[in-house]
Every structure is written in C-alpha cells, then in structure tokens.
Amino acid sequence: MAALLQLKEVTKAFGSLRVLDALDLEVDKGEIRGLIGPNGAGKTTLFNVIAGALRGDHGVITLDGSEITHFGSANRCRRGLARTFQVPKLFVGMTVLENAEVAALFGNPGHQSRSEAVARARWALNLAGIGELAGAKASVLTTGQRKMLELARAIATGAKLLLLDEVMAGLNPTELQHACDSLRALQTTGFTILMVEHVMQALMSLSHRVSVLFSGKIIMTDVPERVACDPRVIEAYLGKARGVA
Amino acid sequence: MKLKSALIQITIATVLAALVPLVIHSEYALHVAVLALIFAVLAASWNLVSGYGGMFTFGHQAFFGLGAYVSALLAMHLGISTYLSIMIGTVFAMVAGVVICLPVLRLRGAPYIAIATLAFAEIVKLIADNLTSLTHGESGLAGIPPLSPIGAMTFSIADSRPYYYCALVLLAVTMVLVAAVLASPIGLAFGAIRDSQDAAESIGVDVTKYKVLLFMLSSALAGMAGGLFAHYVTVLTPSSILGIDVMVQIIAMALIGGLGTLFGPVVGAIILTVGLELLRSLGDYQLMLYGALLVIIIIVLPRGLSSLPMLIASAATKQPSLRGESWKHPIKQREP
Amino acid sequence: MALLELTGVEAGYAGVQVLWGVDLELREREIVALLGANGAGKTTVLRTISGIVKPWRGGISLQEQHLDGLSPREIVSRGVIHVPEGRHVFPRMSVVDNLRAGAYTERAWSHQRETLEDVYGLFPRLYERRSQFAGTLSGGEQQMLAIGRGLMARPKCLMIDEPSLGLAPKLVDAVLDLVIRIRDLGCTVLLVEQNAQRALEVAERAYVMEHGRILFAGASAAVAGDPAIRQAYLGL
Amino acid sequence: MHGFNIAQLLVDGVVAGSMYALMASGISLIWGTMRMLNFAHGEFYMIGGYTLFFALVALKVHPVIAVGLGLLMTFILGVVVERLIMRWLLLRAEWEMPTLVATLGLSVFMQNFALRTFGAGDLGLPYVVPGVFRVAGVVLPGQRIAIVLVAIVAFAAVWSILRYTKFGIAIRATSQDRDTAVLMGIDFPKVYMLTFGISVALAALAATMLAPIYSVNPWMGQRPMLKAFIVVVFGGLGSLEGAVLGGMALGIIESVGVAVVSSEWQDVIAFAILILVLWIRPQGLFGAKES
C-alpha cells in the first residue's frame, strides 16, 4: 500500500533542545494511525510541523507523492491535509454550519458554488454526528461538541488526511462512544487518520497501528496489542525502575 | 445576518432618512445631519478592519484625511470634476491602506498594531503640516470647491440639503457593500480570521490576501468619506481631520453602537454627533465627553449598545456566571 | 494526623468539570505520589489546592483549617507550595533572585538568609550559579531551582508537578533523591509524576487518577504491583 | 564650519534623550508588567507639569518641593486610575484592546479637562536651575545639566528598586511569568497598582524637568509620548535598558540630524523608521528577549 504521508529525517529544535530528531514516519492510505508518547515527547511539535504551523529545520515531508515541506498551512490544507487543535479554535462569532462552510469553501482548491459548500458542510457535520446543531452558535457548544465541530471542519475541507490532536480529551463516556463511531465511519469512507490521543482505550481500539514517539524519534510502529506490551513502550510511559537499566 | 434582511433594513432606513430634510428645515440641524452621515461612513469603514477583521488600528483618520486632501487639492489646482477628484482621492487612500497593511500583517498583538498605525497617521499629518506650499499647513486649506453640480442639483455652502442626499447615498452604498461582502464567502473568511487566525489558516484561508483586501476596502471607504467631507466643509486643517481626536471619535462611535455589527457604528455615529450637538450648551466639553464615554463604555458595555438587550435579558433570568472561574485571581496565558 | 486533606473535591475550568470528587490525604513527613495518564486531572488537583482553581464543591483543609476559598497568596503563606510543571523559573532573573522571589511571604522573607543557606546546602550547584540568569541554566538545574524556590517559602507541604519531565535518566535520579532529602528535613511532599516506577520507589503511598477521579490508592508496593496502574496509563 | 558644533549637538542630544528615556521607561515598565500600552502617559506628564507650575507660582514653594509634589500628585493619580479603571479591564480574558481604548479615552479626557480648567495658553516657568556654563565652546545651561543628573539619579533609583527590593523582585517576577509569580504568593494586583503609579511618576519627573524649557499647556504630553513610543519600539517593549539606550539614540540622532534634515521633517523620518523597525523586527531593535 502506498504511503499517503511521508516524513523523512524531519528535525526541529527549539534553541538547543531537539524536539524532533531526524524523525521518519509513514502513514498509509486508509489507515487510522495512533501516535502516542509520554508528556514532552514532542507530539504537538510533530503535529505542528506536519500541519505547517511550524517549519521543520530539516527533512522532507511529502503528501500523496508530492513534496509539501515548504508550504504554509493554508496551502497544505488545500492539498488535502487538515488538522484539529488540542484546544478547539472555533470561529465563535459564527454558527456551527458556517464554521464548516468556511472550511468547505476555502479548504478545497476547486471552485465550487455556495450551495455545494453548504451541502458539503452539512455532510461533514453529519459525519461528525453534530448535524442537528447546524443552526446553533458555535460559542454555546459544550466541550464535546466543540471537539466534534473541529473534526467536522477538518472533514469539510475535503482533506484526505486528518490530523486529530486529542479530539477525545474531555469527552464524557457517551460522547466518547459517538466520537469513536464517527472516526470508524470516517475510515470506512476513505479518510486516512493520524491521531494523538491520551484516552488510551479509544486509541488502542481504533488504531490499526500505533507509532510511539519518544525523545524526538519514532521508537516503534506496530499493532496496538504488541505496542502496549513492548517493554520499550512501558518503559517510556511508566519509567524504568532503578538498577534494572 | 442574512443578506436579504440586511438589504431590506438598509432600504427602509435609507428611505426614512431621505424623508428627514422634508421635516427638518433648520439649515443648522441639516448640517449636523450631514456630518453624522459622513462620520457614519467613517465609523462603518473602521468597523470593517477592527470589528470584522479583528485588527485594532489607531490610524484610520489618515485615510479620511488623505481622501480629503488629495481630492481637495486636485479639484483646486487641476479644476477637474469633484467626483473624479474624490475617486482619485479614494484610490490614494486605498493604496495607503495597502502600504500600512504590509507591516501590520506581520504584527500580532494589539499594542504593536496600534503603535504602527498611529505612527503612520502621524506621518500623514506631519506631511500635511509641513507641505505648507501645498496645504498651507495648520492655517488651513480654504476655498475648496463644493461638489460639482449633478444635472439640476447644484451644491453650495449655503445649502446642506443636496449634501445630505449625497452623504446618504454614500452611506447607503457603503452599507450595501459591507452587507454584501459580509454575506459572501469573503465575509466568512474575514470572520474566520478574526475569530482564530490559526484555525483559518488550517482550513485553507489565505490570511494575507484577505487581510489586504479588508484594509483596501476599509481605507477606500474612509477616503471617499474624506473626499465628500472636504467638498462639503470646504476648509481643511491637518489637526481637524488628521488628529488623534478624529480617531477617538471614530472609536467611540463604533464602540457605543457595537463593534462587529452592521448597524452599530452607524447608530453610534448618529447618537454621538447629534447627541453631543444637542448638548451644545456644554460647548467645548465635547471632547472631554468623548474621552469619558470611551472609558465608561469599554468598562460597562464593551460590546456596545447592541449588547444591551442581551445583558438585560440575562440579568432578568439571573443566569449564573461560569462556575469555578475565580474572578479575583484569574490565571490566563498572556503572551504577547 | 492528616496534614492536608481533600474531601470530595470537584473543580474545573470555565464550566468544564475536570475533578469529580477527589479524596486525598497527606500525613506529616511523608511522600505521596499522585499518578495517572496525561489529562487525568493531576495538575488540576494541585492547582485546586494552591487556590488558582476554586473548588466547586468539597473541602480542602490544612491541619484541620479550611484552605478552600483562600487566595493563592494566603495559601502560600500557610505553607502549602506548588512547584509548577515545566519548572517556570523566571528566565531573566538571577538564580538568587529567583530564590528570593520564592521567599515572598512575610514569614519567609524575614528568614531568607538561613533558608537560602539551607537551599544552597541541598543544591550546591545553585550556589555556583547564583548570579547567572535562570534562563541560561540546563533543564536539570532549572528543575533544582524551581524546587529550591519552593523551599524558600519554608513549606509545610511541597507539591511538585512532574519534576522529571524532559530530564535525562541520571538527572531524574538526582531529583528524586532530593525529594527524599526534602522529606527528611521535615516537609511533606506531594509528587505528581509521569515516571510511575520511579515515583513509587520514593513514595510511601500513591494515588492513581483516571478521568478526574481517584482510581486506586494504597501503599507504593501495592500500587506498583496492581494492574490498574498499567490500565490507567496504557488503557489495557 | 557651518555653524554646527558637533560637541554641542551631542550634548543637546543627551539632554533630550535622557528625557525620552524617562518617558519611555515608564511606558516600558507598564507594558512589561501589565502587558498593556498606556496611551495616557503623556497626560500624566502634563499633570506633572501643571503641578509644578502651581506649586512654584501659586504656593511659591522651593523648586525641589515643587518637583516632589509633581511626582506625588501624579503617583497618586496613577494609582487611582489603575485601581478604578485598569483593574477591571486587565482581569478580563480579552484585555488588549479594551485597555488601549480606555487609556486613549483617558488621554482625551485629561487633555480636555486641562484645557477647560487651565485654558489653552502656554504657561511659562523660570528655569529651576539658573546659570549657564561654557565648556570648550559648548553652552550648558544649568537646567540642562540638572536634567541629565536627575535622569541618572532616577534611573539608578528605579534600577536599584527593581534589583534589590522585595517589591522589585515582585515586579520582575510578575512581568516574566505572572502565573508562576502567583504561586510564590505575589499579589499581582498590588504590583500592577504600584507599577502604574511609579511609571507615570517617571513621566511627571520628565515634565518637571522640561516644563521650564518648553512651557506648560494641555498638549504638552503628546509629543513626548509619541517620541517615547518610538523609543520603546526601538528598545523593545518591556525592556528598561532598551528604553535608556533607545532614548539616548533618538535624542542624539534628532539633535545631530538637524545638520542633515530640516527639523520639521525629522519626526516624519522617525515615525517611518519606527514602522520599518516593526516590520523587520517586530520585537524591537534591542528587544531580542521575548521569543
């Protein structure tokens, strides 16, 4: 299967601190890939570098075969890569539908009419399970609904690859269930998903494969069951007992 | 707001406003009305960048003054039609808007944008002050020709009525333009940029392009208002149209009506111009009132009069404030 | 006797509830670890104790006196000190000024000379670097400084949030050794740690949090052997 | 030569620069600590000028006491303004724009209040320090020497307060990381109040020194404040050293610039450079500190 997203030796340093250290990563078309790692491993930086909010110091990023290393985030989005934010950044002055509509209008390189954009926005809201909120003001949404609106906005851009940054954090159990269902539905619809998530049950049950980021490198990529049992991962998360090392 | 209902409201308001001169015969009252309309255009144009674009500029008077001076000078020295000169003045203001927009694009944080735009306005004012051979500096540019006649309608300093209609048309056109832009995809892009620049970029909005567009539109409208102003009052001094006081008035008008609302700045302009004129007995205390009003509004009614109904409603239903938020020691991320 | 006690604390931010009835107890002169995955609510517990977040319900008491409802300043002056995650030293202040800032309360300020000597005794490295800007220190040194700054307030209870974050393994050892020495000086320590294994080695007791609730509590040895902890971290 | 004496120009530049630096350091201190820009700084300067005038002319007190009264009056006014107006705005989630608007409104209010109360006329004052010294062809009026000395003393005082006192540590800690300062038990509202008071008192100090040279009127604060904005942008907002360096640089450039550009165009160039600096280095020329 061909890789949709490919990172080669991507490096990013803040001052003397190398947050990403010649990192390689490939995400295949159509998969749900989980990205885990302990606090401070560099997950958010990696996301920002992939999405274009930060530029890497080094390395090459390709999306669907074409290089996007030097593109800004708006341009990357129009090429099929959309993200959500850990703390939702909604357009609070607009309705839910308008939030998704902007994404449909501007995320897509092809010209489209207003009604097409609205239709696509509604479709995205339905996929994210918040279709019935279309007319509501974005400012009145609950945390869970905000997260889902971020997801819907990413979908509405028509992106092939969704970067989801902790979409499940702060959701209650019902919302969590809905979110999991939505993501599965998205995957069967043909989206590729790369997700950072701290709600481990959800991540482990959704992901086809999980990549583990530790001190700026991907230390392993495998199916969830094997990742969770791998001593390196347990060590990265729980730490190493003294004297064992 | 839906475009259709906005257009209907604008039409009704314009028609009603058109009847005003039939009721009011006092030349003085009409004069105040013309000023109110011109300031309404100015406040509405500033509302575009600040209220809809989220960029709080402090130099909008520069575009107003540029439009006024360029148009006045062209009409005086080249003898061209005042409408042509106003158009050229508008283009000047628009170009100036693009010029100041470029550094502003790189700035995040209201104080930096405020300083940069204020410095720009000061430059324009100083130029008007210093080019005495052209502008006569602070002693003022006098003898600006009134608007050229349109068919049978002639303009003179003695009669405010034709100017009233002229200003009303300009305001109506401005409002329709603003409403149409806001209802279009461009308006959605503006809103997205204002609410979250990061998110706007992440969904493919070309932030630079739309910010420049916003500045162009806003400065052009301000320039056009300036042109009309110049040919109405026929005397210009740098401090009367390029001073910080003008900016204070614009901000007060937009704020009192409600930033980021379609009619707010217009309502604010009318209330403040007419209201303060009614308090004429206060005479020179006007500017003091403007200053005090700004402070009071920003503390008590930061969203302007337009938020008043909402505030009353929420006070009546006694909505609890957000729990867990300690107002005494709020901990927020405050990075510039 | 309990030094610090939380009973049924519920709290959150801007209408979003994070803590759902947290009970927690610290006794005099002990180290207690507070464990759990990211986003479990550990930091919020500390912020609620230190008064930055006001509890919605439940009580917090220090030696049977109410702490909830007090301002962060009053809580600090009663001797409950929060060393924040990510160190947060004042980067453009010298090391010694950072330490003096820690002694801001009246009581601590009048004793600052002695305390400063004690802190330099614990952290000789800080003494060597005392006139350097804190921003120029290494990550490990900054962590030492953050803890030292907390000690300058002469705390009864020191709450340390993620001291090992971003530190090399050797430094993690050094920091955790210090935690023991601080306890031996008579201070109670509440340790929030990502590095659970290591935290359990130094702590007498531990609480494991998940989704804003205490999932499990007990002696360190019991917690270390319990599968619940792996579930809390890795979701299995 | 052409009638320009370089030494004289430099000395004049240092005199003007030390006053710009005083104004700018107040604006910078407020910015650094409270993260707000004070558009009314020039009006506090004006209050200092008027207080000095009335203390000297009406109360006929000793000049040193008059200057002291000017500082005290402005400090108290600053504290009151912070407590009554700024406090509410600074505690809001969205504080950047509202504080700008409030200080702008305050500026217009105070200016026009002065205009109504004291009239539009220029009030002249005798030099507080009489006498003129001549050194190697450089003319040095006593007042100007006093200005530089006072500025040096003021900076030394502010620097020492920031460096050595408990309150100074609280200011620095608050400005570098307010949320962490709270964890030390630092009462930041109090820090805000006193910082604002001290900062505007610095402006008043500049006014009491310059009033005898430039006269007192309701608009006297406008130019110095705009100049101070240029300085803080050059020096980097929030940096005291930057304010001093930037102030001196602007004073000397202006003074020497007279030899090159006629004086009425100097400000145009200064503002243009300001925009250029913001464009190229949004953090200011010397202000590399904030990442």
Q: Name the more confident of B147 and A245.
A: B147
pLDDT per position as a tens digit, D166-181:
999 999 999 999 999 9
Residue C213 has pLDDT above 60, yes or no: yes
| Among C153, C178, C198, residue at a domain's last position | C153
Distance from CA of C107 to the nearest CA of D (A): 12
C109 close contact with B: CB closer than 8 A: no
Please tell me what DSSP assigns to residue D128: S
CA angle B146, B149, B153 (to 5 degrees): 115
pLDDT per position as a tens digit, B13-65:
999 999 998 988 888 899 999 999 999 999 999 999 999 988 999 999 999 99
Mean pLDDT, to the nearest integer, of B239-267? Answer: 90
C91 close contact with B: CB closer than 8 A: no
Confidence band for B334, pLDDT divided at 50, 70 and 90: very low
Mark yes or no for CB contact C13/B325 under 8 Å. yes
Three-class HEC string of chain C: CEEEEEEEEEEEECCEEEEEEEEEEEECCCEEEEEECCCCCHHHHHHHHCCCCCCCEEEEEECCEECCCCCHHHHHHCCEEEECCCCCCCCCCEHHHHHHHHCCCHHHHHCHHHHHHHHHHHCHHHHHCCCCEHHHCCHHHHHHHHHHHHHCCCCCEEEEECCCCCCCHHHHHHHHHHHHHHHHCCCEEEEECCCHHHHHHHCCEEEEEECCEEEEEEEHHHHHHCHHHHHHHHCC
Residue D272 has pLDDT above 80, yes or no: yes
| Among C107, C128, C153, residue at a domain's last position | C153
Are residues C10 and C41 located together in one domain of the fold? yes
Are residues C170 and C185 located together in one domain of the fold? yes
Which pLDDT belongs to residue B316? 63
What average pLDDT does chain B have? 87
Please tell me what DSSP assigns to residue B305: G
Q: Name the more confident of C1 and C85.
A: C85
Contacts A228 to C, Cβ<8 Å: 234-236
Mark yes or no for CB contact B202/A102 under 8 Å. no
What average pLDDT does chain C have? 90
pLDDT per position as a tens digit, A123-156:
999 999 899 999 999 988 888 889 999 999 999 9
D169 close contact with C: CB closer than 8 A: yes
- Alpha carbon of A122 to those of A117, A178, B56, C168: distances in Å? 9, 17, 34, 49
Are residues C191 and C75 located together in one domain of the fold? yes
ipTM reported for the complex, 2 dp: 0.85
Map residue A108 onto helix, strand or coil.
coil
Are residues C226 and C173 located together in one domain of the fold? yes
pLDDT per position as a tens digit, A50-63:
999 988 899 999 99
Residue A90 has pLDDT above 90, yes or no: yes
Residue B235: phi and psi, rounded to 5, are: -135, 135
Question: By percentage, how much of chain A surpasses pLDDT 90?
Answer: 56
- Alpha carbon of D195 to those of B158, D83, D171: distances in Å? 55, 12, 7
Q: Rounded distance, CA C184 to CA C203, Å?
A: 12
pTM for the structure as a whole:
0.87
C35 → chain A, closest CA residue: A238
Domain boundaries, chain D: 19-218
Mark yes or no for CB contact D176/C50 under 8 Å. no
Which pLDDT belongs to residue B319? 43
Q: What contacts D188, CB < 8 A, 6 or more positions away?
A: D174, D178, D181, D182
Are residues C15 and C73 located together in one domain of the fold? yes
B55 → chain D, closest CA residue: D97
Comparing CB atoms, the residue among A78, A90, A106 nearest residue B189 is: A106
Residue C211 has pLDDT above 70, yes or no: yes
Mark yes or no for CB contact C13/B323 under 8 Å. no
Are residues C168 and C234 located together in one domain of the fold? yes
Comparing CB atoms, the residue among B195, B207, B260 nearest residue A74 is: B207
Contacts B204 to A, Cβ<8 Å: 74-75, 77-78, 103, 106-108, 157
For testing the chain D interface, which of B99, B106, B122, B272 should be mutated: the one with the most D CBs within 10 Å?
B122
Domain residues for the domain of C6 are 1-79+155-236
Comparing CB atoms, the residue among C76, C83, C101 nearest residue D173 is: C101
Which pLDDT belongs to residue A103? 94
Q: Quickly tell me which residue has 């040919």 as its tokens.
A: B231
Are residues C165 and C206 located together in one domain of the fold? yes
Distance from CA of B324 to the nearest CA of C (A): 5
Residue B317 has pLDDT above 90, yes or no: no
Q: Name the more confident of B175 and A231.
A: B175
- Number of domains forming the structure of chain C: 2
For testing the chain B interface, which of C9, C13, C43, C68 should be mutated: the one with the most B CBs within 10 Å?
C13
CA angle B271, B276, B280 (to 5 degrees): 150
Confidence band for B282, pLDDT divided at 50, 70 and 90: low
Are residues C60 and C99 located together in one domain of the fold? no
Are residues C233 and C125 located together in one domain of the fold? no
Contacts C52 to B, Cβ<8 Å: 326, 329, 331
Contacts D166 to C, Cβ<8 Å: 100, 104, 109
Q: What contacts C117, CB < 8 A, 6 or more positions away?
A: none
User: Which tokens hold the place of C191?
Assistant: 């340790």
Residue B336 has pLDDT above 50, yes or no: no
Max avg pLDDT among C227-236, D90-99, D127-136: D90-99
| Among C153, C179, C210, residue at a domain's last position | C153
Confidence band for A241, pLDDT divided at 50, 70 and 90: low
